[in-house]
Amino acid sequence: MTHTPTPDLAVIVVAAGSGTRLGSPTPKAFVPLAGRPLLEHALTAVFRMRQPAQVVVVAPKAHADEAQAIARRVAGPLAGLVSVVPGGATRQESVVGGLAALADGIRTVLVHDAARALTPPALLDAVAAAVTESGNGIVPGLTVVDTIKRVTGDGAVLGTVDRSELSAVQTPQGFPREVLDAANRAYSGPGDTTDDAAIVAAAGHPVSVIAGDPLAFKITTPWDLRRAELLLGDTASAAPSAPRVGTGLDVHAFADDDAPLWLAGLHWPGERGLAGHSDGDVAAHAICDALLSAAGLGDVGVIFGTDDPRLHGAHGDVFLSETARRVHEAGFRIGNVTVLIAGNRPKLAPRRAEAEQLLGAVLGAPVSVAATTTDALGFTGRGEGLAAIATALLMPAGGPDLSWGA
């Protein structure tokens, strides 16, 4: 299982705005889009970033419990990285409240609007990477393609603006933490600013623009919401249409203490346990990696990092259940899974059927479990640990039903 460090990245998701211009009595972040709140869509992208992050949601006090429920639902086993804080009277006050909730080890902060609900994870990744590489503030932006006129209050044209110098900026906007902290403490400008980069620039810190993404548009009006609905409809029509195959590998050494052995979802009394942040179940972890790779969702180390104390000692069914949920959400059903365990012990044959039954019940699909020694070769042959290799077949959700028991 790949280990990931405690996050040094945080994402503050501002979700405290009203829904007035959207024509809704509900705060904007909680308005449904394709059956899910805007906030849920925005957080889904955040939790699909390559790098794990602390996530702080800034929400209206009256909707704090709802925001917490949404965030925990999306975060799954990473829910320990999420907190919800009340929003302020202005956007800047809300961001300052989010900054106050950050852990000590955070070095890079992204500030993101929940209203930009379709922002792709790749854009968040790009902004975070650019901040780390440059040490500057980074904002994504799009080239302005329309001709822009300067006009008076009554509409008289004063002149044409050179659009080559213009960029329509988006979120997330990223900054070194100490820069954003200091800039907000020093800021004394208008209280209605909606641009964190302007606050940072006003404090004399450099800010650069990188390429944005058209999908990161802000949902402000009913037409914006309709546009997002149409785009999601297009995405749904482009759902997976062919089977996908993935492979996973996991390795763990035997523990030096008297830890129990958990393997293929089963407890093996009297056998030497495996070292690891969780229970070290190489079979379960390899299956998760195979499923995630087939669905294009990353790997176990990214999604189930060692930074979450809730996963300390967690058993394989926790990882398998969450992986299956993500695979189903991505538009797939699990066709079948095979896993091969390499090691001298325990002897798998007497409990093979039990392991297959348990794993199959968790995944809702047939699972085949096999075992091999390695003829005394390698670390498994020397009895230093166990390894497992898994292969998973995923089917499009609308394809032939190959689910277990069908």
SS3 of 341-371: EECCCCCCHHHHHHHHHHHHHHHCCCEEEEE
How far apart CA 170 and CA 144 sit, in angstroms, is 12
Find tokens 């030096």 and name the residue. 256
Q: Is pLDDT larger for residue 108 or for residue 295?
A: 108
Question: Amino acid letter at 282?
Answer: V
Q: What is the pLDDT of residue 305?
A: 60
382 is an annotated ligand-binding site residue: yes
Task: For residue 267, give its domain range.
Answer: 244-396
With respect to residue 345, please indicate whether it lies within any of the assigned structural domains.
yes
Q: What is the pLDDT of residue 38?
A: 95
Q: What is the CATH number of the domain that holds 89?
A: 3.90.550.10
**Nearest CA-CA partner of 298 in 132, 51, 43:** 51
Last residue of a domain, one of 237, 263, 291: 237
With respect to residue 355, please indicate whether it lies within any of the assigned structural domains.
yes
**Do 260 and 351 fall within a single domain?**
yes
With respect to residue 217, please indicate whether it lies within any of the assigned structural domains.
yes
How far apart CA 352 and CA 342 sit, in angstroms, is 14
With respect to residue 3, please indicate whether it lies within any of the assigned structural domains.
no
What average pLDDT does this structure show over 201-226? 93
**Do 100 and 224 fall within a single domain?**
yes
Report the DSSP pairing between strands 148-151 and 36-37.
unpaired
Q: What is the CATH number of the domain that holds 256?
A: 3.30.1330.50
**Do 196 and 270 fall within a single domain?**
no
Q: What is the pLDDT of residue 236?
A: 54
Q: Average pLDDT, whole number, for the chain?
A: 88
Tokens (6 digits) for 137: 């503030």
How far apart CA 302 and CA 300 sit, in angstroms, is 5
Q: What is the pLDDT of residue 217?
A: 95
With respect to residue 344, please indicate whether it lies within any of the assigned structural domains.
yes
250 is an annotated ligand-binding site residue: yes
**Do 233 and 270 fall within a single domain?**
no
Instruction: Give alpha helix (H) positions in 169-307.
Output: 177-186, 196-202, 222-237, 282-295, 300-303
**Do 302 and 176 fall within a single domain?**
no
63 is an annotated ligand-binding site residue: no
Last residue of a domain, one of 191, 216, 237: 237
251 is an annotated ligand-binding site residue: yes
Residue 323, helix vs strand vs coil: helix
**Do 100 and 124 fall within a single domain?**
yes
pLDDT greater than 50 at residue 4: no
**Among residues of the chain, what percentage have pLDDT more than 90?**
62
65 is an annotated ligand-binding site residue: no
**Do 185 and 267 fall within a single domain?**
no
Strand arrangement, sheet containing 385-396: 244-253, 385-396, 332-342, 367-372
Find tokens 């991505």 and name the residue. 330
Last residue of a domain, one of 222, 237, 252: 237
pLDDT greater than 60 at residue 102: yes
- Condensed to tens digits (0 to 9), the pLDDT of residues 146-187 reads 889 999 988 899 999 998 889 999 999 999 999 999 999 998
pTM of the entire predicted model = 0.63
**Do 63 and 17 fall within a single domain?**
yes
**Do 271 and 129 fall within a single domain?**
no
pLDDT greater than 80 at residue 303: no
Q: What is the pLDDT of residue 144?
A: 87
How far apart CA 318 and CA 312 sit, in angstroms, is 11
Tokens (6 digits) for 122: 């790749």
- Domains identified in the chain, total number: 2
Is the separation of the CB atoms in 128 and 51 below 8 Å? yes
With respect to residue 2, please indicate whether it lies within any of the assigned structural domains.
no
- Condensed to tens digits (0 to 9), the pLDDT of residues 246-293 reads 999 999 999 888 889 999 999 999 999 898 878 889 999 999 999 999
**Do 39 and 187 fall within a single domain?**
yes
Question: Amino acid letter at 369?
Answer: V
With respect to residue 214, please indicate whether it lies within any of the assigned structural domains.
yes
**Do 14 and 134 fall within a single domain?**
yes
- Condensed to tens digits (0 to 9), the pLDDT of residues 374-402 reads 888 999 889 999 999 999 999 987 554 44
Question: Amino acid letter at 367?
Answer: V
With respect to residue 178, please indicate whether it lies within any of the assigned structural domains.
yes
List of long-range contacts for 183-190, beta carbons under 8 Å, 24+ apart: 184/92, 184/95, 184/96, 184/99, 187/92
374 is an annotated ligand-binding site residue: yes
Q: What is the pLDDT of residue 402?
A: 43
Instruction: Give alpha helix (H) positions in 255-330.
Output: 282-295, 300-303, 316-329
- Condensed to tens digits (0 to 9), the pLDDT of residues 6-54 reads 789 999 999 988 777 777 788 999 999 888 899 999 999 999 898 889 9
Find tokens 């006050």 and name the residue. 93
263 sits in which H/E element: strand 261-263
pLDDT greater than 60 at residue 327: yes
277 is an annotated ligand-binding site residue: yes
Is the separation of the CB atoms in 119 and 38 below 8 Å? no
**Do 196 and 162 fall within a single domain?**
yes
Annotate 160-201 with DSSP letters as a single string: EE-GGG-EEE-S-EEEEHHHHHHHHHH--S-TT---HHHHHH
Q: How confident is the model at residue 79 (pLDDT cuts 50, 70, 90)?
A: confident
CB atoms near residue 211 (< 10 Å): 11
267 is an annotated ligand-binding site residue: no
